[in-house]
Amino acid sequence: MLMPLLAVLLGLALLVWSADRFVEGAASTARHVGMSSLLIGMVVVGFGTSAPEMVVSALASWQGNPGIALGNAYGSNITNIALILGLTALISPIAVHSRVLRKELPILSLVTIFVLLLMYDRTLSRLDGWLHLAVFAGLMGWTIWEGMRQKDDAFGEEMEDELQEQAMPIKRALFWLIVGLILLIASSRILVWGAVAIAHQLGISDLIIGLTVVAVGTSLPELASSIIAVRRNEHDIALGNVLGSNLFNTLAVVGIAGTIRPLGFDPSVVSRDMLTMTVLTVSLFLFGYGFRGPGRINRIEGALLLACYLGYTAYLMTSVFGQGS
């Protein structure tokens, strides 16, 4: 038990550190090749913050562990909305000024409902995986078009300030881009091995481990960046990190896992985990869209989101200790 536990702790620590280096390197490299700040925030940072989930789920799928592959993706989405945005809104209410992000809120809700219906048969086939990736490619095309069309957006302005603070020479940016990616893969392999070993030794399903330990661990970059952003009054970055990450998780992470290996999974993934993710996503849309003006996630709504996360986690723990699963 000691070695798997150390592997999880080491894997998570290295995963978070390497993800941060990878995002900084990728964003700076994109900046050097002339990509706009808005596009970097929507595409590059969204991809970078989901890189841990992407690599972990791909490896888990390749090794035949559907619980970790799907639990990591859906658990990260639940963690991003309920825990990260809940905590962030408690620290400071999140004002949504960006027109682009307001458009992404309903899109994320529709995508989540679409995926829930697609996975209702409790099977992630290769066709399902390619459908996930096709929708993702379409959304990325829309995102790039929208980012090129919108020249003055609050999210882009906040991202511009961030990029200026973290500017680095092109050689250093490429170095951290490559080294960060290598360490992401290595740390993910360590983490997946440790998580599977712990689950087997404790008699817990790898789905529960994926939904809790792995999901929270791979979401730590979003937690850190969102709290830092809101303390700097960069509210759109705090929300943009979560929206971008959840879109990548829902479509790209699960899609890649499905194309690597068809996955059958427990019915509770749909009835409990995906349903929870869908309700939270729609709630985020209702809280943050701002039907009569700029959107705003206040402290009461943040407390509700955090209470949902605590209740969901408590329910998972009850199923572990109550049923021994």
What SS3 class is residue 166?
coil
| Contact residues for 152 (Cβ-Cβ < 8 A; gap 6+) | none
Q: What is the dihedral of CA 120, 126, 127, 130, to 10 degrees?
A: 110
Kindly tell me the sign of the dihedral angle through the C-alpha atoms of 76, 81, 85, 86. Answer: negative
Both structure tokens of 197: 């070993």
CB 290, CB 98: distance < 8 Å: no
Identify the pLDDT of residue 150: 66
The model's pLDDT over 179-229, given as tens digits with 9 standing for 90+, comes to 988 988 888 888 888 888 888 888 888 899 889 888 888 887 778 778 878
Both structure tokens of 165: 């603070």
The span from the CA of 93 to the CA of 144, in Å, is: 29
The span from the CA of 167 to the CA of 59, in Å, is: 32
Q: What are phi and psi of 97, to 5 degrees?
A: -100, -25
| Class in CATH terms, 2-323 | mainly alpha
The span from the CA of 184 to the CA of 151, in Å, is: 33
Identify the pLDDT of residue 137: 95
Identify the pLDDT of residue 126: 95
Identify the pLDDT of residue 323: 55
Identify the pLDDT of residue 324: 47
Residues pairing with 264 in the sheet: 123
Neighbours of 126 (CB within 10 A): 13
Both structure tokens of 254: 């699960």
Q: Give the Cα-Cα-Cα angle 250, 297, 222 (nearest 5 degrees).
A: 45
Q: How far is CA 67 from CA 164, 188, 193, 264, in A?
A: 40, 15, 13, 9
The span from the CA of 197 to the CA of 192, in Å, is: 8
The span from the CA of 300 to the CA of 109, in Å, is: 21
Q: Is 122 left (phi over 0), alpha (psi -120 to 50) or beta?
A: left
The span from the CA of 91 to the CA of 209, in Å, is: 28
User: Whole-model pTM above 0.75?
Assistant: yes
**What residues of the chain score a pLDDT lower than 50?**
324-325
DSSP string, 197-218: HHHHHHT--HHHHIIIIIHHHH
The span from the CA of 168 to the CA of 15, in Å, is: 22
Both structure tokens of 218: 């791979």
Identify the pLDDT of residue 271: 93
Identify the pLDDT of residue 201: 86
Q: How far is CA 321 from CA 116, 208, 251, 299, in A?
A: 28, 12, 32, 33
The span from the CA of 85 to the CA of 264, in Å, is: 31
**Shortest CA distance to 225 belongs to which of 84, 96, 44, 94?**
84
